[in-house]
Structure 1
Amino acid sequence: MVFPDNAIDKLGFSEIKNLIKEKCLSEPGKEMVGKIQPQVKLENIDKFLRQTQEFKDLLLNDAPLPVDHLYPIKPLADKAKVEGAFLAEDEFHRILLSLRTVFAIIRYFNERAGLYAHLELLFEHLPIETKIVRQIESVIDDRGKMKDNASRLLLDLTQQILKSEQEARKRIDQVFKQAQNNGWTADGNLTIRDGRLCIPILAENKRKVKGLIHDESATGQTAYIEPEEVFHLNNKVRDLEFERRREVIRILTELTSELRPHVPLLLSYHGLLSKLDFVRAKALFAIDIEAEMPELSKEAEINLINARHPLLFINSKKENHPSVVPLNIKIDQEDRVILVSGPNAGGKSVCMKTVGLLQLMVQSGLLIPAEDTSKVGVFKQIFADIGDDQSIESDLSTYSAHLSKMKHFTEFATARTLVLIDEFGTGTDPLFGGPIAEAVLEALNKKNVRGVITTHYSNLKVYASNTAGLENASMLFDNVGMKPLYILQIGKPGSSYAFEIAEKIGLRREILESAKNKIGKQQKKVDTLLVDLERDKKTVHDTKVSISKRERELEHLRKEYEELQGYLEENKKQIIREAKEQARQILKDANKLVENTISDIKSVQADKDKTKGIRKNLQQAIDNHTEKNVKALTSHVEVDETIEIGDWVKIVDSETEAQVMEVGKGNNLILALGELRTVVKKNKVVKLKGKEKAKVVKKHRNISMESAADFQPEVDVRGMRTEDALRQIETVLDRAVMIGFPSLKILHGKGDGILRKFIREYLRKYSHVSRFEDEHADRGGDGITYAYIS
């Protein structure tokens, strides 16, 4: 499909595969990455892309997939397949750990049935055969060693060995102590020689202790002796150990025989782990390069929107360079071949390689760093001519190597072929290279091929501008600052800026003038026209950018205006309603005040001085009431009040007090109503101040104290499913945060450690948990987690 073979390397696809291999957890996964090849069947490409996209979504938005142990099962299953063979203890332990991982993965997806439809295809109809695990667990412990009670004989032999070793140690201690008392020993304690425990005896006393001499010191002054009576006991231990080893082999052989019928299922489990590791690595790489799944098309077309070269993007992230300039390019039935021209080091080759590499990635089931609105078709062939392929062995010069590729392209290319050619026509005399390149381009165009071609040849630019199916494009260049912009502009050819670049480098003016005089007048006019066009394009581009920026600012202002208008509209009705109510209250109070005043005047029988005093009191009451209501109305108009975390507010609709827990995006507030949380718009609440706030805080503090009195800072989720456990923990955590409790004890048990892992992942994301740790080893160890609340 790809010609020549080294085009894969020159486009950078081999580097992509190496980066994905680094994400794999197992050797089988790495082997699968090494076998990645572009596909031509649309349904296969779609399936591989969707699996990668689903795994990417899982990694970013779901609980971690339990992939703790991905040991390769296939070599062990192949070994177990042979009659009479047996697996060692550590091999059974690796199978056990891998099977636990497999079953945890299957349960993980069963709990999310339908959510990851394409990933579920990897293990469709694959059963959880717990019998295999039970058989292994009855023999092998969690350290990968055989259990002493794997058989009655093994237990008996183990106990005999232990008893004999204790007896031998007791006896040698007695002999050593006696020899010390007699002054026969050299300096030092008991020591091991030839795997036997020996006593260091002075050479002149070695005949006084009956036993076997295993070694002597370098000076010959010390002999290391195993006492005679201990020698017989050690031999007995050795015999028992041989017998125990025979029993261990018998048990392992029997266990292997029980495993043998399940070998096909084990191989299926191996395939699942390998594929999951493979897809996981692709998804992790996609996250690194901020990749998305483009829209697939049955047609031979490409429409890349804001695409970036993945290798350049990774390097820019590592070195903190400015972000990679995105590429926008469209290849379809009308514009089949894009002819890219422009200055050296302006990004022409990167543009061409980006198209080729992203096409290879998509057809290999890899997500690409481009907008998900991009559209990519399927090509049956990708032909590339990049770099210098001269060969001494094949007697090929640079130009001969280019021509041999052109021969292959013109003979075998079809409408389903993507052609990528860098520096088309170079390597020979431009006087002849240009026309040959034009003839090749004409032949390729007749075959309706698709492609990207870079060139400096003017005759190719002219040919493209006059030929249907071909489209000129150029890499923009700042001819004032004399630097490339790395932006592809479709529709016009670009100048090579040879004289401008030479002048910037510092080539002498007389040399430049001489060179200008040597080129034809027509060519000079064409190049000058191209430079002018380039300058005009840059001006137009800058104007577009400025207009676009202004439009975004105006749109932002329009949205703010609409939000403010809506806010005022909502509050206007509320203010009018409250004003009417206050007006009714004012009238009621006024009527009462007037009636009381009239009554007072009558009671004093219209006495002038007393009446004057009563009227004065009436006027003062009116003034006080007016001032009070003006302040009340003013306080209600303060709608643009700053609300921060910890403030107390009143919800207008329900007259309920609540405390602000978070200030969300836009106008959203997350409020705490006791142990519950709710989201309310900022314009639906009134901030409490002064005495009103103090009253509410005191009331809620009393409630919190009563709540804290019966609060138990401990939650037991042992035996629960993951979702139920996390829900229970969230409820208790929220309550602990509300009443200000400093810590929470979570009992989850040890088991396989899966529940513990999910709980700790959840705690890391809970903003109020400052840290967490295991309980002391004597009181439960890693079966209990303490979460500390800030």
Structure 2
Amino acid sequence: MLYPDNSADKLGFTEVKELIKAHCLSIMGQQMVDKIQVMNNYDNIRKFLNQANEFKNILQNDAALPIQHFYDIKSLANKARIEGAFLSEEEFYQVQASLTTVFAVIAYFNEREGQYPNLEALFEHLPIEKAILKKIDQVIDNKGKIRPNASRDLLDITTGIAKAEQDARKKIDQIFKNASANNWTADGSLTIRDGRLCIPLLAENKRKLKGFVHDESASGQTVYLEPEEVFTLNNRIRDLEFERRREIVRILTGLTDELRPYVPLLLSYHGLLTKLDFVRAKALFAIEVEGEMPEVVNDAHIKLVNARHPLLYLNFKKEQKTVVPLNVQIDDGTRVVVVSGPNAGGKSVCMKTVGLLQMMVQAGLLIPASETSVVGVFKQLFVDIGDDQSIESDLSTYSAHLSKMKHFVENANGKTLILIDEFGTGTDPQFGGPIAEAVLEALNHKKVRGMITTHYSNLKIFASNTDGLENASMLFNNVEMKPLYMLEVGKPGSSYAFEIAQKIGLPQNVLNLAKNKISVGQKKVDTLLVDLEREKKEIYDTRIKLEKQQRQVTNLLAENETLKSYLEENKKALMRDAKQQAQSIILNANKLVENTIAEIKSSNADKETTRNLRENLNVELKKNTVKTEPVKAAVVDEELKPGDWVKLTDSETTGQVIELIKDNVVIAIGDLRTVAKKKRVQKVSRSSVPKDIRKSLTSNTNDYANFSPEMDVRGMRTDEALQSIEKVLDRALMMSVNSIKIIHGKGDGILRKMIRDYLKKYDQVGRMEDEHPDRGGNGITYVYLK
């Protein structure tokens, strides 16, 4: 599967395993981590990945799993298997604690049945035999000590020991008191010698008490004597303790005999605890490196999105720096990526990231990459990194490389992932380049997948003209002479040898001499690569600017459509209300006319009565006539203040006052802001404004009130920081804020540079300055807007 055998060391996989071991709670879990291997079985890979992902979800989003004790109960079970053997109190306590943990874990998952199916499979069909725990609890207490009442005989013996110790203490206290009264004792109190309680006597008085001398002081002036009466009692205590020890052995032997039939089950419980410790360690490591579960496919395919090298990520995290994410795809169309670019530009790290993350996935480990990444399964992983020269094997550096190339060409296939660093180096470039090109052509015919790094121009040209191969380069800022550590697929990169040498300070005359020694064609190729990279960067910047402008136009169009829809709906509602009111007026008028006619006919009224009825009719009709008085313009002197609701006099548009500027009023209408003269607006009551409009405008107004022109992007990845800054910048421009403050930290200045380069693209940005050295210096950037 892996070639050569030290591939795991070369790619950093061994170091990853050591970091995972540090999270284990038991030796058994650590031993299981040591056994992690790169697999090629698709189902097993998915199972292990899902287990780690589910445990990660528990650690981040669920109640803590009741894992408290991990002991090696496998060795204890094997010991109990032997006839006549017995477990000690401490060993039974370990079994007791481990079984308590097992049953608590099973109960935890039973409460969440179906939520973590891959972890539940670890104890599927595993019986819960609480009789074992009950038997142990009857003998061993929760501190790991045998219970005094574990048997009737043990209780009697324990009681006898306590009584004898009490009698012995009383007796020796009495003798000591009498000896002290007679001034026979030396300075001090009762003391222990050879495990016996003794009285310190002056040497000249040792004959005055019957007993046994156990010791004397260094000067010989004090002897330590155990009185004869107490000696007999202490012997009785010792005999009882021997009896107690024999009884404990008998009890433990009997308990072990009862435990023996359950040995296979104990081994199963041990396996569950070991697997839980193992999966827990993998999940904790995933959280530490921000690992996610990618989509896994049973095909030779890789698509890494925002991937980071886990070891580099952890190192940078300590230094509060960010890793530039890697985006690369290897599939049927782009089988081998040929990476070129400047020295120290990140080519090797890029290739090692691909190799290490592939190994991690096929070992069932979550990887620091977006969950939208897609990772396939490879049957073989061939690696050629570093110098494997060997004095014992009589291999030079180039011979070691060639022996690997021989193995690659003979054994690689379409399910092989190859990783070759500095392809073709180690010999004369005039011959090493063609040999490397021939090997690459042979590997391409075998449809292998992989990534190689090189400085050879013939390999770059070969990749650009060959199906299945794709050039890629590590971006380089040729103005500041700094690598950007970003992989760009689609074109080769220059090595920037002369530019880097010039920056380091190599004398100009030496550089000129070197330039004269290379061919004209090579000069043109390298210059062309540099120019292409510069033009590509300019095109990229322009595209980003156009995309931003397009987003702004799209937002404005959406806001316009929303406002238009609102106005149309408002117009329809007004027309509907007017028609209903007109119909009501007409209906009432008709009824009045009919009633008047009926009265005239029924009363045969004279002219005077008829005239009075007509006058009453006219009065009632005037009352019900809709008055269409023109809307009066707001008085210029009318008091308006922010928060008031107003209506434009020449339309039915309603909004809320945001700000007053001399004779102008800034009004919020939906998501839009407009400026109108005071004489063109009329103040209206809040209750007359529809609730949906009030709610929308109040929410937007609060958003603007809560806006802060200061933001902290420390700890964010570069893309996250730039997205956050773009949002704040958009709102600042909309609100006409003069400046914003960005706190990005110092570190190596990478994040600061990326932010400033990004902001330079905006025409609205006037200038950028560092904070005062006493208040953060170049860890803070002030952005002043035009």
TM-score normalised to structure 1 length = 0.73
Residues 1:339 and 1:467: Cα distance change in structure 2 (over 3 Å)? same
Q: 2:365 — aligned with what?
A: 366
What is aligned with 2:515?
A: 516
SS in structure 2 at match of 1:370: coil
- Residues 182-207 of structure 1: CA distance to partner in whole angstroms, max 9, x if unpaired? 11000000000000000000000000
- The one-letter amino acid paired with 1:10 is K
Q: Would the alpha carbon gap of residues 48 and 152 (structure 1) be closer, same or farther in structure 2, given more than 3 Å must change?
A: same
Task: Give the Cα separation in 2 of the matches to 1:309 and 1:506.
Answer: 32
| Post-superposition offset of 1:270 | 0.6
Q: Does 1:234 align with 2:246?
A: no
| Residues 478 and 538 in structure 1, CA contact (< 8 A), matched pair in contact too | no
Q: CA deviation at 1:506?
A: 1.6
- Partners of 1:640 and 1:70 lie apart in 2 by 65
What residue in structure 2 maps to residue 535 of structure 1?
A: 534
Instruction: Give the 3 Å change call, closer, same or farther, for CA 567–2 of structure 1 in structure 2.
Output: farther
Residues 642-671 of structure 1 deviation map (CA, whole Å, 9 limit, x = unaligned): 9xxxxxxxxxxxxxxxxxxxxxxxxxxxxx
CA separation of 1:575/1:350 partners in 2, compared to 1, >3 Å: closer, same or farther? farther
- Aligned pairs for 1:425-504 (under 5 A) are 425-504=424-503
Asked which structure has the greater CA Rg, the reply is: 2
Deviations 1:537-561 (CA, angstroms, capped at 9, x unpaired): 2212222333344455556667777
Pairwise CA distance, 1:442: 1.0
Preserved contact between residue 132 and residue 259 of structure 1 (Cα < 8 Å):
yes
Residue in 1 that maps onto 2:263? 263
Q: How much has 1:460 moved relative to structure 2?
A: 0.6
User: Given that residues 77 and 267 in structure 1 are in contact (C-alpha distance below 8 angstroms), is that contact kept between their aligned partners in structure 2?
Assistant: yes
Task: List aligned pairs for 1:328-347, cutoff 5 A.
Answer: 328-347=327-346
* CA spacing shift, 1:216–1:286, aligned 2, 3 Å: same
1:139–1:146 Cα contact (<8 Å) kept: yes
Give the structure 2 partner of residue 655 of structure 1.
none
1:381 Cα deviation after fit: 0.4
Partner of 1:376: 375
Residues 538 and 198 of structure 1, relative CA distance in 2, 3 Å threshold: same
Q: Who is 1:290 aligned against? A: 290
**What is the CA–CA distance in structure 1 between the aligned matches of 2:76 and 2:10, rounded to whole Å?**
39
In 2, Cα distance between equivalents of 1:159 and 1:568: 95
Say whether residues 1:48 and 2:11 are aligned partners.
no
Q: Is the 8 A contact 1:639 1:683 kept in 2?
A: no
- Quickly say closer, same or farther: Cα 1:284–1:556, change in 2 above 3 A: farther
Structure 1 pair 190/355, CA: closer, same or farther in 2 (3 Å)? same
- Tell me the SS of whatever aligns to 2:328: strand
- 1:397 alignment partner in structure 2: 396
Letter of the aligned partner of 2:476 in structure 1?
F
Q: Indicate the residue corresponding to 1:13 in structure 2.
A: 13
Alignment match, 1:74: 74
SS at match of 1:444: helix
Structure-2 separation of matches of 1:549 and 1:684: 26
2:3–2:382 contact (8 Å) kept in structure 1: yes
Q: CA deviation at 1:572?
A: 10
Distance across 2 between alignment mates of 1:39 and 1:9 = 17
In the alignment, the residues of structure 2 paired with residue 79 and residue 576 of structure 1 have an alpha-carbon distance, to the nearest angstrom, of 93
1:307 matched to 2:295: no
Give the whole-Å Cα distance in 2 for the aligned partners of 1:682 and 1:79: 78
How many residues in Structure 1 have an aligned counterpart in Structure 2?
606
Specify the SS of the correspondent of 2:100.
Answer: helix
Alignment of 1:662-681 (within 5 A): none
Alignment partners' CA distance in 2, 1:111 and 1:272 = 18
Residues 453-485 of structure 1, C-alpha deviation per residue, up to 9 Å, x if partnerless? 000000111111111111111111111111111
1:605-620 matches, within 5 Å, as none
Counterpart for residue 223 of structure 1? 223
- The 1:197–1:578 alpha-carbon spacing in structure 2 relative to 1, beyond 3 Å, is farther
Q: Which amino acid aligns with 2:97?
A: L
Per-residue deviation, 1:683: 2.1
Classify 1:315/1:570 alpha carbon distance in 2 versus 1 (closer, same or farther; 3 Å). farther
Query: Using the alignment, how far apart are the partners of 1:267 and 1:529 within structure 2?
Result: 68
Change over 3 Å in CA distance of 1:684–1:507 after alignment to 2: closer
Q: Quick one: distance in 2 between partners of 1:315 and 1:641?
A: 53
How big is each residue's C-alpha offset from its partner over 1:63-109, in whole Å with a ceiling of 9 and x where there is no partner? 11110112221111111111111011111111111111100100010
Task: Identify unmatched segments of 5+ residues in structure 2.
Answer: 581-634, 648-653, 659-691, 700-786
Q: CA deviation at 1:313?
A: 1.0
Give distance in 2, aligned partners of 1:579 and 1:256. Answer: 95
CA distance, structure 2, for counterparts of residue 98 and residue 574 of structure 1: 73
Deviations 1:291-317 (A, max 9, x none): 111111222111111111111111111
Greater CA drift, 142-151 or 53-62: 53-62
AA in 2 matched with 1:312 = L
**1:352 counterpart SS class:** helix
Q: Kindly report which structure 2 residues correspond to 1:546-585, keeping only aligned pairs within 5 A, or say none.
A: 546-551=545-550
Task: For residues 675-714 of structure 1, give each alpha carbon's deviation from its aligned partner in whole angstroms, at most 9, with x where no partner exists.
Answer: xxxxx99928999xxxxxxxxxxxxxxxxxxxxxxxxxxx
Which deviates further from its counterpart, 243-252 or 297-306? 297-306
Give, in angstroms, the shift of residue 446 of structure 1: 1.1
Partner of 1:488, secondary structure, is strand
Query: Could you say what secondary structure the match of 2:338 adopts?
Result: strand
In structure 1, distance between residues paired with 2:207 and 2:693: 99
How far is the alpha carbon of 1:576 from its aligned partner? Answer: 12
Q: Secondary structure at the residue paired with 2:471? A: strand
Aligned counterparts of 2:233 and 2:568: Cα–Cα separation in 1 = 99
In 2, Cα distance between the equivalents of 1:577 and 1:167?
Answer: 107
Q: Measure, in 1, the Cα distance between the counterparts of 2:430 and 2:261.
A: 75
- The aligned counterpart of 1:142 is 142
Percent sequence identity over aligned pairs: 67
Residue type matched to 1:318 in 2? Answer: K
Deviation at 1:7, TM superposition (A): 1.2
- Distance in 2 of aligned mates of 1:682 and 1:276: 55
Deviations 1:243-300 (A, max 9, x none): 0000000000000111111111111111111111111111111111111111112221
Paired residue type of 2:323: V
Q: CA RMSD in A?
A: 3.1
Q: Structure 1 residues 285, 559: CA separation in 2 closer, same or farther (over 3 Å shift)?
A: farther
Contact (CA 8 Å) 2:656, 2:697: kept in 1 or not?
no
Structure 2 CA distance for aligned equivalents of residues 46 and 549 of structure 1: 40
**Are the structure 2 counterparts of residues 544 and 291 from structure 1 closer, same or farther at C-alpha, using a change threshold of 3 Å?**
farther
Distance 2:566 2:164 in 1: 89
Corresponding position: 1:59 with 2:59: yes
The one of 692, 695, 700 equivalent to 1:683 is 695
| SS class of match (1:345) | coil
Could you say if the C-alpha distance between residues 556 and 4 of structure 1 is closer, same or farther in structure 2, counting changes exceeding 3 Å? farther
Query: Do the aligned partners of 2:644 and 2:657 also contact (CA within 8 Å) in 1?
Result: no
Q: In structure 2, the residue corresponding to 1:171 is in which secondary structure?
A: helix
Tell me the distance in 2 between the aligned counterparts of 1:233 and 1:577.
112
In structure 1, the gaps of 5 or more residues are 582-625, 643-679, 688-790
**Counterparts of 1:106 and 1:574, CA distance in 2:** 63
Is the CA contact (8 Å cut-off) linking 2:644 and 2:656 kept in structure 1? Answer: no
Give the match's secondary structure for 2:148: coil
- Alignment-derived partner of residue 122 in structure 2: 122
In the aligned structure 2, how far is the partner of 1:388 from the partner of 1:201? 79
Residue 555 to residue 353, structure 1, CA distance change in 2 (3 Å): farther
The corresponding residue for 1:740 is none
Query: Contact conserved, 2:337 with 2:451, CA < 8 A, in 1?
Result: yes
Q: 1:548 to 1:199 in 2, by over 3 A?
A: farther
Q: Secondary structure at the match of 2:144?
A: coil
Corresponding residue of 1:277: 277
| Secondary structure of the structure 1 residue equivalent to 2:198 | strand
1:201–1:224: 8 Å Cα contact kept in structure 2? yes
Q: Contact between 1:465 and 1:471, CA under 8 Å: does it hold in 2?
A: yes
Paired with 1:577 and 1:90, the residues of 2 have a C-alpha distance of 87
Change (3 A) 1:75 1:580: farther
SS in structure 2 of the partner of residue 281 of structure 1: helix
Kindly indicate whether the alpha-carbon contact (under 8 Å) linking 1:476 and 1:538 is maintained by their aligned counterparts in 2. no
1:40-69 deviations in Å (ceiling 9; x for gaps): 111111111111111111111111111011
* Partner SS, residue 103 of structure 1: helix
The 1-side partners of 2:564 and 2:289 are apart by 42
